[in-house]
Amino acid sequence: MDIKQALLAKREVSAQVEIPGIGTVTIRPLTRGETLRLKDKSGAELERRAVAWALLDPQMSEAEVGDWQQVAPAGELQLVADKIQELSGLTQERPK
């Protein structure tokens, strides 16, 4: 595979996040295209969309993630959102 093909190929990266008392979810990083589509979103809407896109198992719609936001302790979704940011290379601390 040449470099162009490698750049254009879908990446199979995922991670698991343990949610205490619930179980483990599997997520993937957001693509650059997805992060650009989130630029004009904020707060709950941004989180709903990003989590819905990144969840591999279980898969959830934005509406279902919204329902989860309404019933979950605040830190529960934060665990997932933080890991999505980390996998996507969107954390504040980036390697130099």
- pLDDT digits 0-9 by tens, 64-91: 999 999 999 989 999 999 999 999 999 8
How sure is the predictor about 93, in pLDDT bands with cuts at 50, 70 and 90?
Answer: low
What is the predicted pLDDT for the residue at 69?
Answer: 97
Beta-carbon count within 10 A of 65 CB: 23
Note the pLDDT tens digit of each residue in 9-58.
Answer: 988 899 999 999 999 999 999 999 999 999 998 899 999 999 999 999 99
Neighbouring residues of 49: CB distance < 8 A, sequence distance ≥ 6: 38, 41, 62
Alpha-carbon torsion 72, 31, 56, 86, what sign?
Answer: negative
Task: Please report the domains of the chain, with CATH numbers, ordered by start residue.
Answer: 3-87 (3.30.2220)
